[in-house]
Structure 1
Amino acid sequence: MKKIIASLLILSLSACGWHLRGSTSGSDKLAMTQPLNLTIESSDNHSQLVNSLRQALPGYKITEVEKNTAQTLVLNIGSETLDKRTAGVGSDALTSAYEIILRAPFSISSAGNLITPKDTAASITRTYNYNVNNANSAAQEEELVLREMRRELAQTILRRVKNLAAKQSTTPASSTQTAQ
């Protein structure tokens, strides 16, 4: 009986669209099948966000190249901004939670043509608890949350790159077929 109930719960979870973070859907799998060349440009090539982007490239089958060619997409990353605000106040009128918003403007171009609008940005928002009595561990927790946010921000940007690359590769092929 327990096995039947467990099976039904698992089936109902998959039926409602729930999935583990980081797992890909069918559309993501299609977009990730072909390798892609990418040049990353940034004012700070050694920032934590750019390093997170470079670490995530193999998972998306993206190769970073130094030279711009006609088949290469150029990802220009702007300076990331971090906004921190109070999200909760305890009974002692001290901050008990903070909300962090990490934003990074970016643009994607191909062969000198801008693909994304100029005001394109990716952002991630997280909230974490803050303990005034243990400020050292709260600072470490904030660093951990920021590191995870940068990793997720990099993944968000790379998903957009892959989706745009997939659209770019299907658009010219369909327009040349209709022209013939």
Structure 2
Amino acid sequence: MQQRPVQRLLILAMATLLTACGFHLRGTGGVNISDEWRSMYLVSSNPNSEFSREVKTRFAANGVQWQEDNKAANYSVVLGPERFSQRNLSLNSEARAAEFELTMRSTFSVRNSSGETVIENTTSSVVKQMENDPRNVVGKSEEIRILKSEMRSELAQQIMRRIAFYAAAQEA
């Protein structure tokens, strides 16, 4: 009879300790952007690319409103194209690639409403490793497609964090 209240108290204490230490599930922690930085315009050579859409989605999820006209926005994000590369890390006994390194990078800069560059050209990159099975070409192609999508998302999140960090530093 005494065990149930003790168990509940223990669970409550553990939950309190977890929240007190700043723990949160991965991907649930939003990025805080000041109100001045919440009005943006995206400059991209390919505004309908998957990467441009991912950047817009990430920023919008954190309170940024994308403007249709750069004159209505406080800041313009100039987004370079995503660059994807793949290289062999190791070879197997048959001299075939056993491991790949996948890299995705992009450059970005930010200009204010008067056209002055606020954040110079900055390169963001994401690197992942992947094992290769030469007998399963179709499966590995699909795995690379999925990894590219994840890397695109991480790259957009990285750009978001860098801009938010810069905005916070300007306020302080």
TM interval, shorter chain, is 0.7 to 0.9
Residue aligned with 2:136, SS: helix
The superposition leaves residues 123-161 of structure 1 with CA deviations (integer Å, 9 ceiling, x where unpaired) of 000111211001000000000000110011111112222
User: Structure 1: how far apart are the matches of 2:71 and 2:88?
Assistant: 46
**RMSD of aligned alpha carbons:** 2.9
Runs of 4+ aligned residues of structure 1 deviating over 4 Å after TM superposition are none
Residue aligned with 1:115, SS: strand
TM-score, structure 2 as length reference: 0.79
8 Å contact from structure 1 (residues 37, 65) kept in 2: yes
Cα distance, 1:37–1:78 mapped onto 2, change above 3 Å: same
User: Structure 1: how far apart are the matches of 2:76 and 2:166?
Assistant: 12
Q: CA offset at residue 91 of structure 1?
A: 3.2
1:157 and 2:163 correspond: no
Of 146-155 and 60-69, deviating more is 60-69
Q: CA offset at residue 24 of structure 1?
A: 2.5
8 Å contact from structure 1 (residues 33, 61) kept in 2: no
Structure 1 or 2: more helix by fraction: 1
| Residue identity in the other structure for 2:146 | L
Residue aligned with 1:133, SS: coil
Which residue matches 1:98?
Answer: 100
Identity, % of aligned pairs?
Answer: 25
Of 21, 30, 47, which residue of structure 1 is paired with 2:26? 21
8 Å contact from structure 2 (residues 34, 167) kept in 1: no
The equivalences for 1:124-139 within 5 A come to 124-139=126-141
User: Structure 2: how far apart are the matches of 1:80 and 1:153?
Assistant: 9
**Is there any run of 5+ residues in structure 1 with no aligned partner, and where?**
172-180
TM-score, structure 1 as length reference: 0.76
The superposition leaves residues 10-42 of structure 1 with CA deviations (integer Å, 9 ceiling, x where unpaired) of 958x85x775432438xx4xx346470110001
Of 129, 148, 168, which residue of structure 2 is paired with 1:166? 168
Of 103, 116, 120, which residue of structure 2 is paired with 1:113? 116
Which residue matches 1:60?
Answer: 62
**Is there any run of 5+ residues in structure 2 with no aligned partner, and where?**
1-6
Q: CA offset at residue 89 of structure 1?
A: 2.1
Q: Count matched residues.
A: 162
